Amino acid sequence: MKNEHASSTAPLLLGMAAGAALGAAGVMATNTSQRQMRRTARKLAKGAEHAVSQLDKMVDDFVERRMDG
């Protein structure tokens, strides 16, 4: 029962992390050059892609365990 609650909050936490990252990027945009901003945007995109990949893996594992159990 505890795992169901934890997995239902994962998207919320992911959204909060993404919002915080975008907020930090917005603050940085006012203080950095265009080149630095592009570099930061690429890093954020790569991090978001990694987070979504991990979330997808968690969902797949959860579904697989539910199907086996």
Each residue's pLDDT expressed in tens, for the chain with a length of 69 residues: 445 445 566 676 677 777 777 777 676 666 668 888 888 889 988 988 998 888 889 999 888 888 886
Rounded to two decimals, what is the model's pTM? Answer: 0.50
Tell me which long-range contacts 7-10 makes (C-beta under 8 A, separation of at least 24). 7/58, 7/59, 7/62, 10/55, 10/58
How many domains does the structure of the chain reveal? 1
